[in-house]
């Protein structure tokens, strides 16, 4: 078993996630892309922990999953509110914080 395969998978997932965050305008899809990024990190963490025989990485991955769940919860709530206010979840239009 090669570590490389996992790392490549993680990198691929990460890139897809980043692409999704940057390119998609749909709020839900952006959140899902973030999920992809987080999961790519999880894969890295688990793979490296397995290789090093140290469980800390796996514990971390569990943390990340938990936090990601919370994050998605908050994120979806925000998206929902934006939708209610603007009848759109296009994040390009959500620029209230413009300076």
Which stretches of the chain bind other proteins, using CB under 8 A? 18, 21-23, 25, 30, 91-92, 94-99
CB of 55 to other proteins, least distance (A): 27
For CA atoms 44, 47, 53, 56, the dihedral sign is positive
CB of 98 to other proteins, least distance (A): 3
Distance, C-alpha 5 to centroid of its chain: 20
CB of 28 to other proteins, least distance (A): 14
1 versus 97: smaller Cβ distance to other proteins: 97
Locate 10 and state its tokens: 């993680």
Q: Tell me if 25 sits within 8 A of 90, measured CB to CB.
A: yes
């Amino acid at each position: 078993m090669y570590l490389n395969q996992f790392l490549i998978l993680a990198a691929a997932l990460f890139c897809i996630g980043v692409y999704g965050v940057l390119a998609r305008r749909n709020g839900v899809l952006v959140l899902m892309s973030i999920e992809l990024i987080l999961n790519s990190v999880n894969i890295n963490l688990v793979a490296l922990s397995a290789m090093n025989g140290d469980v800390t990485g796996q514990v971390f991955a569990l943390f990340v999953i938990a936090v990601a769940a919370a994050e998605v919860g908050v994120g979806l709530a925000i998206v929902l509110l934006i939708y209610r206010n603007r009848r759109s979840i296009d994040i390009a239009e959500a620029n209230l914080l413009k300076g």
